[in-house]
Amino acid sequence: MNRFAWLLDRLAYEPRRNAKLALIADYLRTTPDPDRGLALAAMTGGLVFPNAKAGLIRTLISERTDPVLFALSYDYVGDLSETVALMWPAPEPPGHGSSLPPCGGEMERGGVPPGERSPGRSPRTPVPSPQSKSGVADLDILDAHLGQARDEWGGEEPYAATAEPGHNRPPLTLPDVVAGLRSAGKTELPRLVASWLDALDETGRWALLKLITGSLRIGVSARLAKTAAASLGGIPADEVEQVWHGLEPPYATLFAWLEGRRPRPEATDPAPFRPVMLSHPLEDTDFEKLSPADFSAEWKWDGIRVQAVSGTKADGTRLTRLYSRTGEDIAGAFPDLVEALTLDGALDGELLVMREGAVQSFNTLQQRLNRKTVTPKMLSESPAHIRVYDLLVDGDEDIRSLPLEERRARLEAFLGRLDGARFDLSPVIPFTSWDDLAAARADPASAGAGDDAEAVEGCMIKRRDSPYLPGRPKGYWWKWKRQARLVDCVLMYAQRGHGKRSSFYSDYTFGVWREGAAGADELVPVGKAYFGFTDEELVEIDRYVRKHTQNRFGPVREVTHNAQSGLVFEVAFEGLQRSTRHKSGLAMRFPRISRIRWDKPPAEADRIEALEQLLPAAG
């Protein structure tokens, strides 16, 4: 576990993408099988332990510490794994208390002295962070640290079966942990996990708990981890994606291929994920370099980008998957779509909910997301639909290299053979100049979007000759979002953040004025936001919250908010819908803090009537 724990620790504190890639690649290159494959599975979401849940961890720590102290500590730290790792009562090893290499003493994990925390820091004892001359972690040097510790332990093998608590010692390896989590039953798992926690130091416990809960939160996406693996063989990450879904952890055949010891694994999966093509935001200065004749445009819909893939297995049965833009299979929540995709192919489109031919709000779609079970009522009241943008595979032919216009023609023919109630073609926007397109973007209802205009986020602009390429290639696709709507709101409540913001009040609930029951004006909450501000502004807002707290409710503070005293935020948001779940009766889409109006009196913030005028006509 020592290498895996060290890797997670470094990744959690490394903000740079390329440096993360280097760390992962170096780990995969220098760590033997099966450890590296299991680590890769952990970073890509490929490890699932049905009996290991967060509730188990809470129960174990509550049996060993004061529940009130744990609750207060968890509120402060903001991360379950971090809190338990710090609080777990690991006894001092008899006779060895002073013989171990220093673990940081009064320094926080990452070398930050106490009292000098920033929005990106959270305390935990650091592990050694040896560096190679290139600046990339050298795990062989880490082995030297462990060898020195072995000598100081009197020649014993570290991690021995009789290891004393508090140190990462064999046989507690990553393969052992994974095998134990997979095989242990519900009754024996608590004892097993507790014994592991007793045998690990703080960083080892933290890594173990991250593995158990499945929430690494180290700033590494599945795509980034696969890109690092692909770098071992000097190949594009897209090639790893092509064979990925036919492989199982610990991916021995994958590494053998990447290292040139075996041929490429057979891509036997009939419904694999293909990395999506992404766009660049369009700036005003870009128009001078672009010719309208070279581009086509379509609406950018307010849903979830998905890839629907269906193929025929060797036994003649059909396999259909629905992928998120990151490659996660979400088909289980949308059986109505799975049943409707009856042709071999791969579609790129927007997941929506349609009722009587009209696109519903994103709030309605959210009721279908992340569902383990879908009821007949849900299928009837919120039928899923894909508005298709592109065709990647037609039958068994990969057509991503064809120009967009040719793929579009193939897509129209493909959709003509599918169930129109579940799939339809995203319409193009006719235009001959950028001014024409700007007018359409400003008024989608009059430019062809009709009753679905409220579901339009903006325009997608695509070169007519563009191939479908993974990632975000330059010069092919652009997104031109509609102007965000702005409203001035008053801060009402603030909540502690999680992870790197656990020491700051960073989640803000804000409201607007309305006439109360007694005729006097009152503030009513209309949204919650936790981004849009800089780290420097966060420190200022946090200081304001602490100085103007009226009441406390666990991690939440009520802040002074009346006509004479309060803090005004200019809030930007993308859309607005009616909502019975909110006291105001309204729900914002993608709210964010646009500006902090230190200069504006709370009495001059907006009223509920201003928001109600922005509701869809049928709302």
Q: Write down the domain spans for the chain.
A: 2-213, 280-481, 485-612
pLDDT at 133 over 70: no
**Residue 499 binned pLDDT confidence (cut-offs 50, 70, 90):** low
Note the pLDDT tens digit of each residue in 375-417: 999 999 999 999 999 999 999 999 999 999 999 999 999 999 9
Please give the Cα distance from 381 to 358 (Å, whole number): 13
Whether residue 142 has pLDDT greater than 60: no
The CA distances from residue 233 to 250, 257, 327, in Å, are 17, 8, 22
pLDDT band at 312 (very low <50, low <70, confident <90, very high): very high
**What pLDDT was estimated at residue 170?**
57
Q: Phi and psi for 387 in degrees, rounded to 5?
A: -90, 110
CA distance 555 to 364: 29
Name the most confidently modeled range: 116-130, 423-437, 519-533: 423-437
Residue 602: cis peptide before it, omega within 30 degrees of 0: no
Q: Cα angle vertex 511, ends 507, 512, to 5°?
A: 155
Residue 94: the pLDDT is: 56
Establish whether domains 2-213 and 485-612 are of one fold.
no
pLDDT of residue 617: 61
Judge whether residue 510 has pLDDT over 80: yes
Residues 6 or more apart whose CB falls under 8 angstroms from that of 486 comprise 570, 571, 572, 594
Residue 380 phi, psi dihedral angles, 5° rounding? -75, -40
Tell me the pLDDT tens digit for each residue of 73-122: 887 777 889 999 999 996 555 555 443 333 333 334 443 333 333 444 34
Q: Which two tokens stand for residue 7?
A: 């890797």
User: CATH number of 2-213: 1.10.155, 1.10.3470, 1.10.3720, 1.10.3260?
Assistant: 1.10.3260
Q: Where are the alpha helices (DSSP H) in 31-165?
A: 35-43, 54-62, 67-77, 80-87, 139-152
Q: Which of 155-159, 546-550, 602-606 has the lowest mean pLDDT?
A: 155-159
pLDDT for residue 570: 94
Q: Report CA torsion sign: 94, 96, 101, 107.
A: positive
**pLDDT tens-digit series, residues 177-195:** 999 999 999 999 999 999 9
Average pLDDT over residues 233-256: 90
Closest CA to 466 of 390, 353, 352: 390
Looking at residue 71, the DSSP 8-state letter turns out to be H
CATH fold, domain 485-612, is OB fold (Dihydrolipoamide Acetyltransferase, E2P) (2.40.50)
Q: What CATH number matches the domain at 280-481, 1.10.10.60, 3.30.470.30, 3.40.640.10, 3.40.50.300? A: 3.30.470.30
Does residue 190 have a cis bond before it (omega within 30 degrees)? no
- At 520 the pLDDT is 87
